[in-house]
Amino acid sequence: MKFRKIFNGKVAFVTGGASGMGRSLCIRLGNNGCRVAVADINASGAVETASIITENGGTALAMGLDVSDYCAMERALRQVIEEWSGIDYYINNAGIGISAEMQDISIEQWRKTIDVNLMGVINGTALAYGQMVRQGHGHIVNVASMAGLAPFPVNIPYTASKYGVVGLTSALQSEAVFHGINISLVCPGVVGTNFYTDLEVVNVDREKYTGGLPSNILDPDKAAYKIMKGIAARKKLILFPMHAVFVYHAYRLAPALFNPLMWFLVKKFRDLKKHRDN
């Protein structure tokens, strides 16, 4: 697909752009002529991504940004609009995870996960959507997860937040069409990013836990390509790789069949927890 024809001269705002899939997406957008605002709480990482884009001849702006801070998000978007006279793509990609059993999760850990994964998306969507309604065009892309389509036990705050993103995005699609705005929902399966290295794990040895998880099924750059392809085609649901497609359809058809797998994941986590306690 010839992306440059679609993205050249456009303006994109990407959260979580300092590393992984977010960085790859920013670079791909920049290499195809898009002016890219790279936002991340990791300000130095955002600068690195922006530098890669500019060194390749593109245009980028780096921003240290906490997506859970609505006022900071508002200032950042206003800066981009003033700098580049509008916004064409707003991509809510930032996210965090926590692995723990429900009884071991503090309310502070719940709030942190919901604030970043759900409120961060709400903040970005609300701000970008208002601007796009005024413009009469635009495209919002919300990155959820396979865990937003099928439950992920011992990762309940993450699952809850991603289900929220799925519901928000799916419902908004019906309203947005009347304003000429496209809304895409991205639900990746396992992508080889730093998600697992940054994952908070409670009462279990994190190295043993993360070492047993699939972490490199899809390369971040290939994931970014699939997202770009979906955005270019204005797809409502961008779902990849094949294991995510299988889980999506299988869980919709027969959710009860997933119970043994869910129980296995819980038991495996509890075994690691028991081993740590001993």
Average pLDDT over every residue of 224-234: 97
List the catalytic residues. Answer: 158
Q: What is the pLDDT of residues 149-170, one digit of tens each?
A: 999 999 999 999 999 999 999 9
Distance between CA 186 and CA 239 in Å, rounded?
6
Confidence grade of residue 208 (pLDDT, cut at 50, 70, 90)? confident
* CB 50 within 8 Å of CB 38: yes
Express each pLDDT in 23-69 by its tens digit: 999 999 999 999 999 999 999 999 999 999 999 999 999 999 999 99
Percent of the chain with pLDDT over 70: 97
Structural domain span for residue 229: 3-277
Q: What is the arithmetic mean of pLDDT over 196-217?
A: 81
| Domain harbouring 140, CATH code | 3.40.50.720
Q: Tell whether the model's pLDDT for residue 97 goes beyond 70.
A: yes
Mean pLDDT across 101-121: 98
What does the alpha-carbon distance between residue 228 and residue 231 come to, in Å, rounded to a whole number? 5
pLDDT at 111 over 70: yes
Say what the pLDDT of residue 193 is: 72
CB 159 within 8 A of CB 152: yes
- pLDDT 10s digits, 244-275: 999 999 999 999 999 999 999 999 999 998 87
pLDDT at residue 197 in the model: 74
- For residues 235-246, give the mean pLDDT: 95
**CA distance readout (Å), 207 to 73, 198, 237, 263:** 34, 11, 33, 21
CA distance 206 to 198: 10
User: pLDDT averaged over the chain?
Assistant: 94
Confidence of residue 1 (pLDDT cuts 50, 70, 90): low
Can you give the pLDDT at residue 141?
98
Domain total of the chain: 1
